[in-house]
Chains A and B, each alone.
Chain A
Amino acid sequence: MSADVLVSARGLEVHFPIRGQGLRKKGAGVLRAVDGVDLDILRGETLGLVGESGCGKSTLGNALLRLIPSTGGTVDFAGTDITKLSGRGLRELRRRAGMVFQDPFASLDPRRTVAQTVSEPLEVHGLRKGRQARAERVAELLELVGLDPAVAGRYPHEFSGGQRQRVGIARALAGEPDFLVCDEAIASLDVSVQAQVLNLLRRLQRQLGLTLLFISHDLSAVRHISDRIAVMYLGRVVEIGPAEAVGTDPQMPYTQALLSAVPLPHPALERKRKRIVLHGDVPSPSAVPSGCRFRTRCPYVFEPCDDVDPALQSVGAPGQLAACHLHGVVGTPATEPEGVTAKP
């Protein structure tokens, strides 16, 4: 099993200090963007990561590539702990793991041509020697993402959003990475263009044997592209499992509510559907509730939720895990010291 794991996070934490105002600069608290995530991403799979804004999914994606430093836990990439990398090791990680960003209008340097943008990884890692060899590789990459290589000399403002996103994907692929993080890569695109980019990512993933982390708030898109889905809430993965299982038979009340809120383009179905309307807002990541972090909005909240922080446990389909006491109280008590785990 472990041979198949490409990226593995254990107890990963990204906490940001909150700057106080005036003289009280320190001690104003911490923002727990990622708060103890255990996650295995298997070689060659597409893992979808969903959650609402502020749940930490994007921070997690960045921390897995060490684009944001983690404050606790480990990230293992192909056998090395990247939280301790430096110099050459870090450069090699940058080549082997790429990122596709959300806004195709912001992610390309407006003053550099498509060729300059796409060949940057080649120059940085010395992958192709000489101008000619790099130009050939750039043409190859543009072709790969469905762009005419003749556009290499053009500037980003001459392209539509979908085309720019293809350029961004070509740049991410230039170093022949094993792992690609797509951070809301289709969120800024029109529906018909979203479909083009989704299909492209699926094709590339199969063709190049990529491992994909597809971060999105769009459950339908995640369900469409992913082999497995992980659901995040307030800095923690609260459910993970095969896409089919999580998409049709979620075991965590939050996932259930999220799924029921996704609007479907079927009027008859929509009229029949019962929506689980969650009340209130997501609590601030600087004031995470004790016990189960979802308890303040959960419709099924009961006694142990207040003080036992639920751990992921096997429920439902094979490979499906959910962090919820409804399936048996498992986890760490919030107040009591470790070792005296209560089980009523």
Chain B
Amino acid sequence: MTSQPGPAASGARKSLRPAKPRWRETLGLLARNPTAAISAVLLVGIILVALFDEALAPAGPNDIDVGARLQPPSGEHLFGTDDLGRDIFSRVILGAAVSLRVGLLAVGIALVIGSVIGLLAGYYGRWVDDVLMRFMDMLFAFPAVLLAIAVLAVRGPGSGNTALAIGIVYIPIFARVTRASVLGVREEVYVRASRSVGASDFRILTRHVLPNAAPPIIVQASISLAFAVLAEAALSFLGLGTQPPNPSWGLMLAEGRGYLDLAWWLAFFPGMAIFLTVLCFNLLGDGLRDVLDPKQRTLMGSAGGENP
């Protein structure tokens, strides 16, 4: 009784289901998580608003109409007007672009620099790890706002520099998250297997380590976006971020502060915009954490009911 490779091959053929690309599987799983799905939809909405701000805003952000100053919300001015008679609805829409741009830019800077540092530190270990991570610890030891203020003091205020300042503050966070994730992936057998066929470090890092270490980094990016939007608001509130007359949610909040008892809508609507955006990024981050967890994936997706 000798066996041929044939039957095994046919066995392979039989038990297979059509392959689904990974990102589609991820989207599918995300859709099954209602909070994350709603957050994602809302965020897409906010981003669209930010992209088409000029077209959507009923009035220009700096169209001053002193005669119609401090008008409460009405059909004409949905969110009311501020002390200079500017349409708050339009300013909130245009502020979305500023806030999101600063947030994305800041997280982008932190993500790229932080992940590269974390990747190298985690993968090579030893002195590379010691040097890079001690430097990160130093950066981390500064109070975040103080560090950002220092950067802005050197470079001068403005939304571009705000993004840079927030980005620098967040670099150690991404470095740490990436390093921790890489430390786990580095020991995986498939990394050893790749080395055993002669793959270079660069190849292993880019093809195997980074993709598999990515999920926590993606989650961190989503949550950091929330904090970056908040930080931009805080810095603008302090007068260091976006400069007037440009609309930014934080700046509008700061300007509306003086009128809280007189005209609540000045601070309320930009505040709600910040709240909603931050909440959505946070909820999406939580949802992604669940969906990108491979254990979760096998539980929900592939392996049926073998031994529980």
Contacts and interface: CB of A to CB of B under 8 A. Distances in A.
Q: Do chains A and B touch in the complex (CB under 8 A)?
A: yes
A19 interface: no
Contacts of A174: 197
Interface stretch (A74-82, A98-106, A305-313, A323-331): A98-106
A234 B127 CA distance: 32
B141 interface: no
Given A101-B193, A106-B189, A110-B212, A121 B302 contact: no
B22 A111 contact: yes
Chain B interface mostly helix, strand, loop or mixed? helix
Interface stretch (A156-164, A216-224, A270-278): A156-164
B81 to A, nearest CB: 52
Given A109-B208, A175-B198, A158 B302 contact: yes
A108 interface: yes
Interface string B277-305: 00000000000000000100010011100
Interface in A39-91: 65, 67, 90-91
A125 B198 contact: yes
Contact of A147 (B12, B19, B203, B294): B12
Given A111-B212, A120-B199, A148-B13, A196 B193 contact: no
B193 A124 contact: no
A31 interface: no
A26 interface: no
Contacts of B16: 151, 154, 158-159
Contact of A94 (B8, B11, B196, B298): B196
Interface in B2-41: 3, 5-6, 8-13, 15-17, 19, 22
A150 interface: yes
A80 B9 CA distance: 39
A242 to B, nearest CB: 24
Contacts of A171: 193, 197
Contacts of B10: 148
Contacts of B212: 109-111
Contact of A121 (B3, B188, B197, B294): B197
A124 B203 contact: yes
A67 B196 contact: yes
B12 A124 contact: no
A153 B19 CA distance: 7
A224 to B, nearest CB: 14
A200 B259 CA distance: 81
Contact of B8 (A103, A168, A172, A196): A196
A124 B190 contact: no
B74 interface: no
A98 B22 CA distance: 29
A9 B119 CA distance: 36
Given A94-B196, A171-B193, A155 B12 contact: no
Nearest to A118: B197
B12 A159 contact: yes
A147 B9 contact: yes
B195 A67 contact: yes
Counting chain B CB atoms within 10 Å of each CB, which of A103, A108, A109, A151 scores highest?
A109
B9 A155 contact: no
A154 B198 contact: no
B211 A111 contact: yes
B192 A67 contact: yes
A101 B198 contact: no
Contact of B190 (A90, A98, A109): A109
A85 B208 CA distance: 25
A95 B212 CA distance: 25
A284 interface: no
Given A94-B198, A101-B193, A155 B15 contact: no
Given A99-B196, A148-B13, A110 B294 contact: yes
22 contacts: A65-B196, A98-B196, A99-B196, A106-B188, A109-B212, A110-B190, A110-B212, A111-B212, A112-B207, A112-B208, A113-B19, A120-B199, A121-B198, A124-B197, A124-B203, A146-B9, A147-B9, A148-B12, A151-B12, A158-B302, A159-B12, A166-B12
Interface of B: 3, 5-6, 8-13, 15-17, 19, 22, 188-190, 192-200, 203, 207-208, 211-212, 294, 298, 301-303
Closest 9 A/B residue pairs (Cβ): A94-B198, A146-B5, A106-B189, A121-B197, A109-B190, A99-B196, A107-B189, A154-B19, A148-B13
Given A146-B8, A166-B8, A175-B198, 10 more contacts: A98-B196, A101-B192, A107-B190, A108-B193, A109-B190, A109-B211, A120-B207, A172-B196, A175-B197, A195-B3
